[in-house]
Amino acid sequence: MQVKKGVVKVPLSVDERWDLIEKITKQTVEFGAYKHTLKDAIAELTVKPLTGIPVAIAVLYGFWSFFCDFAGTLFTDGFMVKIFDEHWLPWLQSVFPGGLGDPLYALMVDAGHLENGVLVPSDNCFEAFGVLTSGLFVPFGVVLWAVLAFYLVFAFLEDIGYLPRLAVLVDTVLHKIGLHGYAIVPTFLSLGCNVPGVMATRVLETRKQRFLMITLLGIFIPCGAQIGIMQDLVPELMGWIFLTLAIGYLGFGYILNKIVPGESPEIIMDVPPYRMPALRNIARKLWIRTSRFLLVAVPFVLLGCLIVGLMYLTGAMDWLASVLGPLLMVWFGVPKEAVAPLIAGFLRKDLAVGVLGGLMERGVMTHFQVFTSVVLLSIYFPCLATFALMLKEENWKEFLGSLASLVVVVFVYGGLIHLVGLMLGVA
């Protein structure tokens, strides 16, 4: 198939090829006078540190407030909470056979909770923990809107060509932890859902970089599902949670980079010009990403509800809580009540955050304890779907490495947070 005859050696060397191109373009291409336009000026200003960094902060802040307003306030609080808590839950509680205490009822609708030794029904879909209540409310009432809002802005930034500029700006920092500016893309995508985030690590060059990235994503990046719920339940703690996670991401990234063998080549990246985004492209991307997310997340949430419900019913949860409880309570400083949701978080973090929020509202947990628990939930164990993908993307050695890092990080960082809390006197 290949051309191998003749005096010319194929393939050409880099220099030979350029010589040839020079010859060709000299005869065929004519560069007319061209003035730098406003677009070019903006293209450069947004990548210069002095002007680019403030712009980046403004963009990210805008991103965040849109996310909160659109997903949190408008859809979740404005419509979904009302629909689910005021109509769906009471209706189910009234028509579903069995009633409080019945196993099937507990599994599907509402497990209720003990108040002064009396089993009382839940008044919201966060705590009910039934397949038909929390199982539907979490993905469709909260998470869907968070993810939709997230991917909408993301697709927009992607299509106008802003992301590579952001990548250049953050490369300075990320290169110090062995990654690329590129790494901002998997990181960002993971804030929507870790699954596409882990897939996007393919833009990184070496195995080492991909390992670092996947491990950090799995540990420190909460997904849209968690963020949506956190934002809804503990909005006043969001800043602290993100700060803690960011410090962990950079700190442990730095350490991992030192430990893990392999290369971290420097960035070589095209910075494309800005252009008008095509609405159709954004819409299509939004649809593909959101629907993929739903396909992955909804079955897991429903299954998670079912398994957690079964664990409560069969007493497995109590057993686990009594075994792991002392460790969690002493090491991380969380109260007894938080142990079960933390364990349930192995299956669905978003559900667990929901329960924790409920505990705080009832005054069982202090702000700091909720904060510690939510951070712990974020850093320990990615969800099952992410797990499966990590197994696919990494080889066994790398996967075990990620897992080991995860366990170490959870204990070291969780303990550290507790320690800081003790020293500040808030724990």
Partner 1 sequence: MGHPNVGKSVFFNRLTGAKVFESNYPGTTVDFMKGWMRLGGEDVELIDVPGTFSLEPKDKAEEVAVKMLTENKDSVVVCVLDASKVERGLYLALEIIERGYPVVVALNMWDVAEDKNIRIDVEKLERILGVPVVPTTAISGEGFKELVSKLKEARPAKIEEIIERAGAGKEGGGESAAVSG
Partner 2 sequence: MEKKLSEMDFDEEGTVKEIDENLKKQVAGMGIRVGKNIRMATKQPIKGPVVVEVDKSLTSLGLGIAEKIIVEVGQDENLIDGASERG
- Residue 308 corresponds to which tokens in the numbers above? 């957690």
- Residue 142 corresponds to which tokens in the numbers above? 């909260």
271 is a contact residue toward partner 2 (CB under 8 A): yes
394 is a contact residue toward partner 1 (CB under 8 A): no
Which region among 59-67, 97-105, 267-275, 361-369 touches partner 2 (by CB under 8 A)? 267-275
Which residue number, 168 or 347, has a Cβ lying nearer to partner 2?
A: 168
48 is a contact residue toward partner 2 (CB under 8 A): yes
- Residue 45 corresponds to which tokens in the numbers above? 């200003």
CB 404 within 8 A of CB 316: no
Q: What residues have CB less than 8 Å from 244, skipping those under 6 apart?
A: 375, 417
By CB under 8 A, the count of residues binding partner 1 is: 53
How buried is residue 327: exposed, middle or buried, by Cβ count under 10 Å (0-12/13-18/19+)?
exposed
Which residue number, 34 or 396, has a Cβ lying nearer to partner 2?
A: 34
Distance in Å from the first CA to the final CA of the chain: 71
273 is a contact residue toward partner 2 (CB under 8 A): yes
Other Cβ atoms less than 10 A from the Cβ of 388: the count is 14
- Residue 13 corresponds to which tokens in the numbers above? 């060397």
User: Which x/- pattern over 165-204 shows residues binding partner 1 (rule: CB under 8 A)?
Assistant: -----------------x--x-------------xx-xxx
Q: What is residue 114's three-state secondary structure?
A: strand
Q: Give which of 344, 302, 347, 340 is closest to 323, Cα–Cα.
A: 340
Spatial separation of the C-alpha atoms in residues 401 and 121, rounded to whole Å: 44
6 is a contact residue toward partner 1 (CB under 8 A): yes
CB 417 within 8 A of CB 248: no
Which residue number, 1 or 95, has a Cβ lying nearer to partner 1?
A: 1
Spatial separation of the C-alpha atoms in residues 145 and 150, rounded to whole Å: 8
- Residue 66 corresponds to which tokens in the numbers above? 């849109």
Spatial separation of the C-alpha atoms in residues 306 and 313, rounded to whole Å: 10
Q: Which of 43, 203, 307, 388 binds partner 2 (CB under 8 A)?
A: 43
Query: In the window 204-233, what residues touch partner 1 (CB under 8 A)?
Result: 204-205, 210
User: Which x/- pattern over 23-62 shows residues binding partner 1 (rule: CB under 8 A)?
Assistant: xxxxxxxxxxxx----------------------------
Q: What is residue 115's three-state secondary structure?
A: strand
Choosing among partner 1, partner 2, none, which partner's interface includes residue 2 (Cβ < 5 to 8 Å by kind)? partner 1
Which residue number, 17 or 284, has a Cβ lying nearer to partner 2?
A: 17
Other Cβ atoms less than 10 A from the Cβ of 302: the count is 18
Choosing among partner 1, partner 2, none, which partner's interface includes residue 20 (Cβ < 5 to 8 Å by kind)? partner 1
DSSP code of residue 202: G
Which residue number, 56 or 233, has a Cβ lying nearer to partner 1?
A: 56
Q: Which of 17, 39, 87, 202 binds partner 2 (CB under 8 A)?
A: 17
- Applying CB under 8 A, which residues contact partner 1? 1-3, 5-8, 10-12, 17-18, 20-21, 23-34, 155, 158-161, 163-164, 182, 185, 199-200, 202-205, 210, 265, 268-270, 272, 275, 278, 281, 284-285, 288
- Applying CB under 8 A, which residues contact partner 2? 14-15, 17-18, 22, 34, 43-44, 47-49, 52, 164, 167-169, 171-172, 175, 181, 265-273
